[in-house]
Structure 1
Amino acid sequence: MAVVVVESPAKAKTINKYLGPGFTVLASYGHVRDLPPKDGSVDPENEFEMLWEVGAASKKHVKAIADALKDDNELILATDPDREGEAISWHLQETLTKRRAIKKDTPVSRVVFNAITKTAVTEAMKNPRQVDMELVEAYLARRALDYLVGFKLSPVLWRRLPGAKSAGRVQSVCLRLIVDREMEIEAFNPREYWTVGASLSTPRGQQFDARLTSLGGKRLDKFDLANETEAELAVQAVMSRDLTVQSVEAKPANRNPSAPFMTSTLQQEASRKYGMGARQTMSAAQRLYEAGLITYMRTDGIDMAPEAVQAARAVIDKRYGAQYVPEQPRLYKNKAK
């Protein structure tokens, strides 16, 4: 038997059903260690040494995992497949080693899966690895930067803006972007230009809007009608003759289905269609993921699980007919490398 550690109790319950009685599945309830909120937790003069402490709420979860390892001397870390998930696994391994719950003969492995389905979970268990220290080091650099920027900039912010909250890595960059944009606005040189449009109707009474794009045989650029007088002259030139439709072009257009959601597009669509904020969207997505209904949502990847693609094709075939199922499944790739 082995002790499997995931992040949330809902996920633990689902995975426990897939793995069966040969495994003990427990939840860490997120991060188990953090930097104490005091000066000196990150030491830039000593190779950025970081002092960690187990949170008060996490002590009972760490104890439960340590107690389980007394009976099952194997640990499988199955936290989320991202940088934070890797960091949680590393924190757990370090904490349990200090507690001597992990002994020299205790096998410790790391498994990752992008979907909580039986196939994905059982396949991940067949391909264990060690904790990816490059991902962990990326996390440590980010945490050190968060901490140092916050402790150095927050006092300045409090002195300049009484009542303001803390500064940080993200807020500082956002402020810089806002300042740069404001400087562009202040340096903007306003310039007048006019456009000419007409509301027209067909002999059948259909209404449509038209915009003047060429005048006197010359295509109009944005600033060609520089003032009201020139615009009025253009209107008079148009009104002095009868308007006719010279040609109508019909062009076929193909519309392809959108790519699967990634974090940003999921939040954009939820906001546009349902007015949901980012936090509400990700909370709903987290519950769907833990129930095994969607793949991992904190990602820029647009890959889909093969079993999900085949299941979707089967449903379309059954409900709507084979003519609506493409011969080959669509494959999506990220534009960015």
Structure 2
Amino acid sequence: MNEVTTIGVDLAKNVFQVHGVDASGQVVVRRQLRRSQVLPFFEKQAACVVGLEACATAHHWAREIAKLGHDVRLMPARYVKPYVKRNKNDTADAEAICEAVARPTMRFVAVKTEEQQAVLMLHRTRQLFVRQRTTLINAIRAHMAEFGIVAGVGRNGVERLLRLIDDGADERVPRVARECLQALRAQLVLVKRQILEADRRILAWHRSHELSRRLETIPGVGPLIATALVASIPDPHAFGSARDVPAWIGLVPKQNSTGGKERLGSISKAGNRYLRSLLVVGALSVIRRAKQVGYTRRAWLAELMGRRPVKVAAVALANKIARIAWALMVSGTRYREPALQVV
């Protein structure tokens, strides 16, 4: 039997499909594996290229298979889909992965370490708590409005409603409804405490990581954005240039060009939505500060703010921040401020 040189693995919870070919492209292995059989199977194989889709559990399996001496490469699922022939099933998916991983122009996803995945989990947990906080606040506002009790927008308005719930003296709210509101208030207090705890843990990791501290020197980048960048980009050298980073995040215009005519639309919104939203919020903070003090260190930003909407300028600045962050990651230097420019 010919030696296997490339293997495609279709990941699942319990049943995995593998498809292996030799140097000439002839199929050598095509079989199913139970979860407990995956690592023993790769232990018996000679070192080869192993392709996986970058989906749930992919980074775990990539680390474990790489420990056995194999060259493991992760690919975005959307880049593998064109290689699926006709019907979609596990066998066809594994064959498509095996074929896609051998393409010389294929783009791969860097394998994250356990620490990086843990930091991203901390970010996702915090994001979930923030969404729950918003849901609880909206529920409290809506329920109290049913009894004619409303408050202004913002934190002060919410605090006013919470004080009314604690007081319990407003006769417009029936006893049963008041008990429900008190339960929602208690849940809101708990969620707020969990958000603060997540912020504390993120800040502690940020202070212990040299690269994260260097990224914080970029205007518009705080501990939240810095730690998210470090955890989301395991290998900055995987990008060919600084322009590839905002394209990966989805901060560049979509193209619909043909016949030599360029047609650019709104941003693509491809890639990491969470990272994109953080960078735009950070850029908005820089623009807000520039308007308050009346100057900015970026002449191009001052000119753009004068002729385009604020959100367009914010996206452009977020694109710039992503490129600067990549440059600092690769060079190992710190950010240096340009000269002042009047807005």
Q: TM-score, normalised by structure 2?
A: 0.29
Q: TM-score, normalised by structure 1?
A: 0.29
Identify, as 1 or 2, the structure richer in helix: 2
Higher radius of gyration, 1 or 2: 1
